[in-house]
Amino acid sequence: MNATPVEILDTILGFLGFVAEVKEEKNDGNTTLQILTNETDRLIGKHEEVMDDLQYLVNRLLASQTPPGARVIVDVQYYRSMRDDALVAEVRQLANAVRASGRPMQTATLNSYDRRIVHNAFKDDPELTTWSPSDDARMKRITIRKRPVLRSDSPA
């Protein structure tokens, strides 16, 4: 029997002793599980670690189902979505500085979820490109730089 993402998260929260309502929201092909509760601080965690761990658990359990389920995002009282918007706004300011100076700049260290948000925000930017190292570190910086100008050396 395959459980839905809402059922999985609701069961986990129940076992942990949280009283919460879980709503499923579909947006741009992504599924977000929104946790509505009075215990937001405990479910978010000091550095979002509780929210990230819940997301990891739900996605692992979904992946174990046959056929594997799609990945979901776990959010608490719209905290993650507001934080994502603030992160993109902050990185856009950094990107404007790169455009003005022409010099590459780096973000603060980011986890994989935040790096994905930043890379996706700039994937279609004609002037800038983003890059992060492919090592095993959990927290990495993203370098934002201008795209190289393609020159045509063909004779006129």
> Is the domain of 14 the same as that of 55?
yes
> Is the domain of 62 the same as that of 106?
no
We report the CATH number of the domain holding residue 125 as 3.30.1370.50
Residue 154 lies in a domain: no
> Is the domain of 95 the same as that of 132?
yes
> Is the domain of 87 the same as that of 113?
yes
CA dist 53 → 31, 48, 86, 101 (Å)? 17, 9, 22, 39
- Is 18 in contact with 2 (CB distance < 8 Å)? no
DSSP state of 68: P
Residue 155 lies in a domain: no
pLDDT digits (tens, 9 = 90+) for 11-49: 999 999 999 999 999 987 789 999 999 999 999 999 889
pLDDT digits (tens, 9 = 90+) for 104-136: 999 999 988 899 999 999 999 999 999 998 888
**Model pLDDT, residue 55:** 95
> Which two structure tokens, joined as six digits, stand for 74?
């776990």
Out of 38, 58, 77, pick the residue that ends a domain: 77
Counted domains in the chain: 2
Residue 92 lies in a domain: yes
Question: pLDDT class for 156, splitting at 50, 70, 90?
Answer: low
Residue partners of 40: CB distance under 8 A and separation at least 6: 76, 77, 79
Domain of residue 111, residue span: 82-146
> Is the domain of 43 the same as that of 20?
yes
pTM over 0.85: no
Classify burial at 5, counting beta carbons within 10 Å of its beta carbon; exposed 0-12, middle 13-18, buried 19 or more. Answer: buried
Name the H helices within 64-104. Answer: 79-101
- d(Cα 19, Cα 35) in Å, to the nearest integer? 10
